Amino acid sequence: MNHLTPSDAYPSWISELETHIFSNPWPPLSAQEILFIEAPWAYARWSLNVIAKEAELLRVQTNPSQQRKGKAKQLLLSSERYFMDLEIEHLLLEVRESNTAALKLYQNLGWSFFHERIAYYPDGENAHLYEKWL
């Protein structure tokens, strides 16, 4: 797995995938973000707070033609190894409560539920917050 920082060129395939999946792509990386990629199929976008020793998963996405092939799992595991080298200790994420595939993946990788945000998303769905200690 490769990773990109804000100083690297932002791959166009990510914007295309986001447009296809979410209809509104996010902008290129901000100063505290990092992107782990398996081009051109999958990515995991993180926000880092090195001083607090935390990283938050902002978005992980796999091209629909490549889902259920372990790409997201490998991106998350690669991210964890990289973060351990940076001495990041605490990982965070939020996920829709209806996203059962993602919930299963996170739980199988050792993430723990710690909070629920009621009606968090614009459509009223709740968000589940998960954490993992490295």
Give 20-31 pLDDT, tens digit per residue. Answer: 888 788 999 999
**Predicted pLDDT of residue 45:** 97
Number of H helices, E strands in the chain: 3, 7
Phi-psi region of 124 (alpha: psi -120 to 50; beta: other; left: phi over 0): left
Of 22, 27, 33, 31, give the one whose Cα is nearest residue 10: 27
Q: What percent of the chain has pLDDT over 70?
A: 99
Is 90's pLDDT higher than 70? yes
b vs e for 32-62, b when ≥16 Cβ sit within 10 Å of the residue's Cβ?
ebbbbbbeebbbbbbebeeeeebbbbbebbb
Confidence of residue 1 (pLDDT cuts 50, 70, 90): low
Contact of 96 with 121, CB cutoff 8 Å: yes
- The mean pLDDT value of the chain amounts to 94
C-alpha–C-alpha distance, residues 130 and 106, integer Å: 8
Helix 100-108 × helix 71-85 angle, to 10°: 40
H/E run at residue 3: strand 2-4
Confidence of residue 37 (pLDDT cuts 50, 70, 90): very high
**Predicted pLDDT of residue 64:** 84
What domains, with CATH codes, occur in the chain? 2-133 (3.40.630.30)
Is 65's pLDDT higher than 90? no
